[in-house]
Amino acid sequence: NDNNMIAAGSVAGAMDDDFCSDAFLSLYKVDFTDMASPQMPVVAKCAIPDRVHKVDWSTHHGNSGIVAGGLVDGSVCIWSADTLLKNGPTPDADAEDPLLCRIQQHTAAVKGCQFNPLQPNFLATGGADKELLIWNLENVTQPKSVPACPKTTQAGEITDVRWNPKFSHILGTTM
């Protein structure tokens, strides 16, 4: 159905009624034709290593793309949306691991994480360590930092990053 799409969300780390503080990445089905239902059904879910500050979804790689998450521990995880969807909302112990790679270059929480809308294999990340990093995910299992953009340190912690939707070489940050 053309009116349906999948959205990424993070159910991350808050203590629940069962005293569980596990972190999860969940994918939800958004159906704008069903206004009677107050809930969006979870169509995929996986445990993740830490709570997430920011998630973004790219069309790059596979039929359903990849999902990136900027984690509290300073890492950036890249998951296969195809594998997440294949595993479903309650993956069993034999399910394929959807994690494609884990980038550990930031030294503090990653608070900004966005794929370039015009070149979806490029990911910008920024965080509490005041660093802005750009990654080329042409090979999603072996991300490469973009050499044309040396490690950049900002005056304050980066709280978000956004690519310009019309010009792929322009990137903004907030502090």
Residue 147 near residue 126, CB atoms below 8 Å:
no
Dump the DSSP string for 105-122. --SS-EEEEEE-SSSTTE
Each residue of 137-169: pLDDT tens digit?
Answer: 999 999 998 875 656 666 789 999 999 999 999
Look over the chain and give the mean of its residue pLDDT values, rounded to a whole number.
85
* E strand spans, the chain: 4-11, 23-31, 42-48, 52-58, 66-71, 76-80, 99-103, 110-115, 122-127, 131-136, 144-145, 152-153, 160-163, 171-174
Burial class (CB in 10 A: 0-12, 13-18, 19+), 35: exposed
| Band of residue 8 on the pLDDT scale cut at 50, 70, 90 | very low
Radius of gyration (Cα) for the chain, nearest Å? Answer: 16
Compare 5 and 134 and report the one with higher pLDDT. Answer: 134
Distance CA 149, CA 145 (A): 8
